[in-house]
Every structure is written in structure tokens, then in C-alpha cells.
Amino acid sequence: MKININADIGESYGRYSIGNDSELMQMIGSANIACGMHAGDPTIMMGTIRLAIDNRVSMGAHPGFNDIWGFGRRQIRMRPLDLEYLVTYQIGALKVMAETQGAHITHVKPHGALNNMAHDDLDYALAIGRAIRAVDRDLIYVANATSQMTKAGEQLGLPVANEAYVDRVYDDNGKMASREREDAVIRDPGKAASQVLSILENKALTSANGRRIPVDIHSFCIHGDEPTAVPLMREVRRHLAHAGIEVVSLPDLFGFRRDEGQMRSWPL
């Protein structure tokens, strides 16, 4: 059995550092690289691209709202068309930067409040999907399982990777519980590993209230900006290895062949 693990990476900004990218990069299959709007700057982006290449990690764009102060975690209500172009812009910048290093991005994963809003709002989910499709219809749309993004991706004919979180508690609708809840973020490695194995074994999320929500997960995500990310990831990997589950990149999981055109030469 194969699974992907992805993390938000490259979320430092200028003199401000966040996360433990160099360690985390060794433990994931795919990196969601911030594109300069909610975090990341051109220099950070380039360094993160090289780090991903060095670690043979596949890369994707991690577009967010244009909001450094809010780290992309403030919900912003905008016209879907403006959002579509804002996402296209970010994917474009990262795509070309990766190509200057001989690499190709293979997925897109929205960030923070954009991800949360697109979970429920089909207009937002479609705007993101149209941006992805306009750039390259082989880009994988990484979408919260049970969300409108999954629906939008399918509707637009994009490859969709359903994801669940290693480090977040779920509510009864299969959505991440709000960060305002005390227990929203899982920081205990054992608890995180249990959640991952439980989701795979039961083919379902279990909400904080114990509700079972059926899902078929391609990828597990971890928040790179949490100081606990590395120990959590280590424990999750240990449990996955023990269960005989291999961690691969998203393009490997989706059976993309390398060296056959643009999308086929991600880090190898």
C-alpha cells in the first residue's frame, strides 16, 4: 500500500523564519510551497525549490490570500474571478521558478483560510480549480476529503488527491475544527500517528464527537509552521513503516511517468 504525505513548506518571509523545512523535507513525499502572497518571498521560494529537489520531494503550489500579516489565515471575501487570477498568478510564479531549476510542479494545494473557505464554497473551489486547469490540466488538485474542492476538481476533470490532516481534529462535517478550539491542533506524536492509521484502516475520519465520516485518502498533510511538526512526522512515518505502508510523492501515487513531457520530470 502507498500513501502520500505533504506539508506546507517555505513559509518563511524575508528575515522571518518559520517551521523546520530542512528536517521536514526529509520526511515528506510532496511539498506545498508558499507562493509569496500569504508567506514565502522569491528568495525563500527558490531556496525551497532547491531543498525539494535535493530531497527528491515533488513540488506543488500553495497559493493563499494576499495577506502576510494574517499568514493567509484570515478569511477574505472576494470575487471568484479575482480569486481565480490570484491563484493563477501564484501557480505561474512558482511553476516558472521551479522550471529554472529543471523541476516541474505537479500539484496545487490552497492555503489556510482559502482552503477553509473553498471547503464549503463551491464558487471558491471552482475558481481555484479553473486556475489549476488553465495552467496545466495534469496538475493534481489536493483537496480536503469531503469538501467542495473534491467536487470542483472532479467537475473540471482534474486529478484530485483527497487529503486528511495528521495534526488537526475534525468536526462532525468532516471539516477541520476551528483553530479557536483549544484542542484543534494535535501536538502529541502518538495521537497524530493513531489518527493517520485509524483513517487508513477505517477508510473514515472520526470527528471529535466520535462521528465516522467515510473518506478515501491519498495524502496526509502536516502543518510545517508548528514546532511539533518534525516529531509528529517522525512518529507517523514509524507507524506507517511498521504497517508496511510506503510513502511516495503525489505524481508517483498517481502513476505519472517521468521524462515524457513537461509534467513528467518532477524531482527524480
What is the DSSP secondary structure assignment for residue 263, as one 8-state letter?
A: G
Decide: is 182 part of the binding site for a copy of itself (CB under 8 A): no
What does the alpha-carbon distance between residue 182 and residue 12 come to, in Å, rounded to a whole number?
25
| C-beta closer to a copy of itself: residue 54 or 82 | 82
What does the alpha-carbon distance between residue 222 and residue 47 come to, in Å, rounded to a whole number?
20
Decide: is 43 part of the binding site for a copy of itself (CB under 8 A): yes
Nearest to 221 by CA among 250, 181, 255, 182: 250
Binding test (CB under 8 A) with a copy of itself, winner from 18, 53, 156, 184? 18
Nearest to 239 by CA among 183, 184, 198: 198
Binding test (CB under 8 A) with a copy of itself, winner from 54, 75, 203, 268? 75
Binding test (CB under 8 A) with a copy of itself, winner from 97, 103, 145, 192? 97
Decide: is 258 part of the binding site for a copy of itself (CB under 8 A): no
| C-beta closer to a copy of itself: residue 52 or 205 | 52
Decide: is 157 part of the binding site for a copy of itself (CB under 8 A): no
The residues near 123 (Cβ < 8 Å, ≥ 6 apart) are 80
* Minimum CB distance to a copy of itself, residue 20 (Å): 14
What does the alpha-carbon distance between residue 261 and residue 218 come to, in Å, rounded to a whole number?
24
Cβ neighbourhood burial of 10 (10 Å; 0-12, 13-18, 19+): buried
| C-beta closer to a copy of itself: residue 73 or 191 | 73
Q: Which residues bind a copy of itself (CB under 8 A)?
A: 13-18, 36, 41-43, 45-46, 66-71, 73-78, 81-82, 85-86, 88-97, 99-100, 113, 134-135, 225
